[in-house]
Structure 1
Amino acid sequence: MDQMWPRGFPLEFIKDHNNGANRQILCQKMRRSSVQQGLVHHDPDVDAIYRLIHADTKTGLDVGFNKYAPSILLAPGTYSPWNSQNTLFHKSAFHILMLPMSVSFRTTDIWRSFFAQKILHLSGLTVSFTPVNAVQFRNSHDFLKDFRDESQVYSDSGKILQFLDAWNCSYQKIEDCMKELAKDFVKNEFWGEDDEKLIDLYIQDLIQVNFKFPGIRENQDSYEASENETEFNVNCRRANFEFSLTQKKSQEKLNNFGDISDWCEESNFTKLADFPSAQDLSQAHQNDYVLQKHQQNVLLIVNNWPWKFGIGHLQRLYQPYFASVVFCGSYYPEEYQNSSQQGFGETQNPFNFIHINPTEIYRGFLGYHCLTLLHEVGLQNIEGYIFMADDAHFNIWQRIDFTRVFHVVGMDVPTSKGWWTNPVYGTPAAKRIISEIQNTTDTEKLEAWKKFETGLRTFGYISPNQTAADDLLSGKGRSVSDFFYIPKSEIDYYSTIMRIFFENKLFLELAVNRFIRSVRHQTSNLRATSYLWGNRGKWPEVYNVNMVAMHPLKLSAFKFPNENRRKYCEKILKPWHEILFKKSGNYTVKMDDEPDYMNG
């Protein structure tokens, strides 16, 4: 399915197109798309060539798309064919509804989509493709007849797109541009004169019903990723999200850990062997409550510094167990690929990342913003979000209460004044936050602030006569925050309140502390030993399988096949192998109803 394409995609560009990992952009603010094309499960709208190769002559196709994929919006100047099925038109796009009648039934909606996109782009309007929202059971078709009916699509789609890319309107009104483009379509023999007349009649009808045509935008919205690596709070940034159609997660787990086993063997560690079959592993993991819950969670791995190495190793360890694993931090592909002696496996596909420049993440001070950015991607059907530092280790078999926020240590040092005295990221940031709230009219921010204040009052951090501002200005309390979990019930609130904190540069340990003060949350039973305070070298003695997470565990120590790597394989990867592949249940977990620390 890697080479599936929609009906109307120019055949000459199937292997020679410019869509790829370097083309996706994540923007916080965008205009709403005027046309939304929904994907469909089972038998999507591909062309007859694809069906002749892949479809069953009686039952057609049986395709299932990844249920976690987000919507994709095409920026002006980017084209893709879309059809007349499962397509929503906003009123701003009613002027491009007309289907041409001088071309075949298998061509008309594709030609409409190309014509429409050029007209929409003149007004700064866009088309988006939304995740699956329907299942199509297609009526019986003669694939060869479809092939003949699509002949113009095969021969002219590429020509139309090249023509549209170079075409400019000579007029100042969008309706005049429609007439001009319709006439030029006739000149280029893309459709007949009847369609030029039809466009003119349709415009007259729209005028009669007082339709308001959109204007032509001289200055188009820019959806280009910022190239200024010192700019704070950019609107658009580099990102990449790809989703596999395969359901063979168990085989992927076996293959990945096989690579890790070979990597361990390089350090003279006994090869991790004795693996179950993919079928047996699948059955065992389907019966595991925690692993099944993680299949609906996304794991976000955050690096405080530019990524240099280790992504491939982290992918092999975690990727098959989650709906998606996303890497966030300053990511420069050439710099990463050229880093010498990585000592870890190659990066795997799919590789999902969000780039945040060094000014924005600032040595990890503002790393919590990565989770806000991930939420803004709009992944579908996600139950929870796990935030993890790249130098933390996560025992994924450990149970947490997936219905509420989880934080390893919770209200770690509630009276600490550390970091509040910082001249930028401490109390001055709190004052900037309060000033913003006092002056904003943004209802979303005000609602989040109200929830923040209510939570602080509910859990006893402020009295009935105090406000959230009083709590922020108290200048005490922080929580070390290298691992935490946010359920979908709290992610909207998290994203809004934490964006306020980020935009005013509140330090991570202070920002997360204030957030978890305001929500009911669970903490780990092994709070004190989850962090290696000033004693990083003792991780082999401190680590145990009953932890949810441990920090820090620096992957840089294991780049070379030496004693450090051998210890890592023995103390951490061997238990991983025994628990996840050999069904060892020799560990304890915290149940959802066990007591928590402070306002858990």
Structure 2
Amino acid sequence: MCNGLTDVDVVFYLTRKSLEMESFNVHFDADAPKVALPQGVMAPVNSLNTMFHAPAFWGLALPVSVSPMASDVIRGYWAQRILWEIGGQLVVYPPTVHRTDNVHAHPFDDEKDIHVNVGRLINFLMGWRSTKPTLFERILDLSYAMAEEGFRWEKDLHFMVAWLQDLVVVGYRQPRLMSLEIDLPRAAIGHGDKHEFVPKKLPSVHLGVEEIGEVSTEIGNLIKWRKHFGDVELILHCTGPMDRTPLEWRLLYGRIFRAVVILS
């Protein structure tokens, strides 16, 4: 994962902004535990801050039949399915990099392959099975099956043959195949197998509002925000005739906020 502009699709990018030139600056909890996805569970993975261990080097290849903006995500689903053949897993770590948003959205057509076909692709990958004796043969078997299913994988089938040949030439050793866990009976999840993660509280925030006509509408939001933020300080800007004393304001709003600062 990464902070700042984390990887989001163009639909999310264009519909979650209040201003057109506003930049994304998302921050994840750096203390969050690592999460390993079991076989049978998939998540979108792109090429941003993603590391491939040596047994998964075959997954570095990017599809050439789809848009460059969608190729890494499509590759992510394909690679996750092949990982299961060698007992591998996708693991999500807390962020270690920061990516700056340059406020430039890509056209929707560049990501159309993700939005249109990804559901069908995941269902296909979940049901795909192969009896080929080696990993590389199963990779080619899956590539051929995807082309047969109409996933525009014809060019990638030839590309994958050349890619695997190159890996063999440089001395890459194929990982050993393992039994698929998703085809084995699963034990029931007990109470001791569950783990609850409580995110740490974020730093305190300041909200500036005017007393006339705004505080009453903002209090509802602040009560909800207190569940997600640590200490909240109210900065009360008083304008016009004052019908209350500062002490009354402190007693009223002090029940909700950690501190009340009055400006006039």
Secondary structure of 1:41 counterpart: strand
Counting only pairs closer than 5 Å after superposition, residues 367-378 of structure 1 correspond to structure 2 as none
Match of 2:116 among 148, 155, 172: 155
After superposition, the Cα gap between the structure-2 partners of 1:63 and 1:211, relative to the gap in structure 1 and judged at 3 Å, is same
Alignment of 1:62 onto 2:25: yes
Q: Which position in structure 2 is the counterpart of 1:241?
A: 197
CA–CA distance in 1 between the matches of 2:95 and 2:193? 26
Match of 2:5 among 35, 43, 67: 43
CA–CA distance in 1 between the matches of 2:69 and 2:23? 17
**Structure 1 residue 226: Cα displacement:** 5.4
Q: Which position in structure 2 is the counterpart of 1:114?
A: 77
Q: Which position in structure 1 is the counterpart of 2:15?
A: 53
**Structure 1 residue 44: Cα displacement:** 0.7
After superposition, the Cα gap between the structure-2 partners of 1:194 and 1:219, relative to the gap in structure 1 and judged at 3 Å, is closer
Counting only pairs closer than 5 Å after superposition, residues 504-515 of structure 1 correspond to structure 2 as none
Task: Report the identity percentage.
Answer: 24
Q: Give the partner amino acid of 2:145.
A: D
Q: TM-score, normalising length from structure 1? A: 0.34
Match of 2:90 among 127, 149, 174: 127
Match of 1:276 among 229, 254, 258: 254
**Structure 1 residue 203: Cα displacement:** 0.7
Q: Give the partner amino acid of 2:109.
A: R
**Structure 1 residue 181: Cα displacement:** 0.6
CA–CA distance in 2 between the matches of 1:253 and 1:140? 27
Q: Which position in structure 1 is the counterpart of 2:211?
A: none
CA–CA distance in 1 between the matches of 2:146 and 2:171? 27
Quick check: 2:253–2:260 contact (8 Å CA) kept in 1?
no
Quick check: 2:2–2:98 contact (8 Å CA) kept in 1?
yes
Quick check: 2:58–2:164 contact (8 Å CA) kept in 1?
yes
**Structure 1 residue 102: Cα displacement:** 1.4
Alignment of 1:75 onto 2:35: no
Quick check: 2:23–2:102 contact (8 Å CA) kept in 1?
no
Match of 1:165 among 106, 126, 145: 126
After superposition, the Cα gap between the structure-2 partners of 1:223 and 1:58, relative to the gap in structure 1 and judged at 3 Å, is farther
**Structure 1 residue 281: Cα displacement:** 3.2
Q: Give unpaired runs (5+ residues) of structure 2.
A: 206-221, 229-250
**Structure 1 residue 280: Cα displacement:** 4.6
Over the residues paired in the alignment, what is the CA RMSD in angstroms?
A: 3.2
Quick check: 1:64–1:245 contact (8 Å CA) kept in 2?
no
Counting only pairs closer than 5 Å after superposition, residues 213-228 of structure 1 correspond to structure 2 as 213-218=174-179, 220=181, 227=189
Quick check: 2:135–2:177 contact (8 Å CA) kept in 1?
yes
Alignment of 1:88 onto 2:51: yes
Alignment of 1:138 onto 2:94: no
Quick check: 1:41–1:64 contact (8 Å CA) kept in 2?
yes
After superposition, the Cα gap between the structure-2 partners of 1:189 and 1:149, relative to the gap in structure 1 and judged at 3 Å, is same
CA–CA distance in 2 between the matches of 1:118 and 1:219? 10
CA–CA distance in 1 between the matches of 2:14 and 2:120? 24
CA–CA distance in 2 between the matches of 1:206 and 1:128? 24
**Structure 1 residue 132: Cα displacement:** 1.3
CA–CA distance in 1 between the matches of 2:153 and 2:225? 56
Q: TM-score, normalising length from structure 2? A: 0.73
Q: Which position in structure 1 is the counterpart of 2:159?
A: 198
Quick check: 2:3–2:97 contact (8 Å CA) kept in 1?
yes
Quick check: 1:66–1:245 contact (8 Å CA) kept in 2?
no
**Structure 1 residue 243: Cα displacement:** 3.5
Quick check: 2:2–2:95 contact (8 Å CA) kept in 1?
yes
CA–CA distance in 2 between the matches of 1:114 and 1:254? 38
Q: Which position in structure 1 is the counterpart of 2:137?
A: 176
| Deviation by residue 1:94-118 (Cα, 9 ceiling, x = unmatched) | 0111001111011100111011011
Q: Give the partner amino acid of 2:193.
A: R
Q: Give the partner amino acid of 2:197.
A: F
CA–CA distance in 2 between the matches of 1:114 and 1:136? 23
CA–CA distance in 2 between the matches of 1:129 and 1:282? 41
Q: Which position in structure 2 is the counterpart of 1:97?
A: 60
| Deviation by residue 1:371-427 (Cα, 9 ceiling, x = unmatched) | xxxxxxxxxxxxxxxxxxxxxxxxxxxxxxxxxxxxxxxxxxxxxxxxxxxxxxxxx
Q: Give the partner amino acid of 1:40.
A: C
CA–CA distance in 1 between the matches of 2:173 and 2:114? 32
Q: How many residues align?
A: 221
Alignment of 1:207 onto 2:168: yes
After superposition, the Cα gap between the structure-2 partners of 1:253 and 1:163, relative to the gap in structure 1 and judged at 3 Å, is closer
After superposition, the Cα gap between the structure-2 partners of 1:170 and 1:255, relative to the gap in structure 1 and judged at 3 Å, is closer
**Structure 1 residue 58: Cα displacement:** 2.5
**Structure 1 residue 209: Cα displacement:** 1.5
Q: Which position in structure 2 is the counterpart of 1:287?
A: none
CA–CA distance in 2 between the matches of 1:72 and 1:142? 30
After superposition, the Cα gap between the structure-2 partners of 1:166 and 1:96, relative to the gap in structure 1 and judged at 3 Å, is same
Counting only pairs closer than 5 Å after superposition, residues 301-312 of structure 1 correspond to structure 2 as none
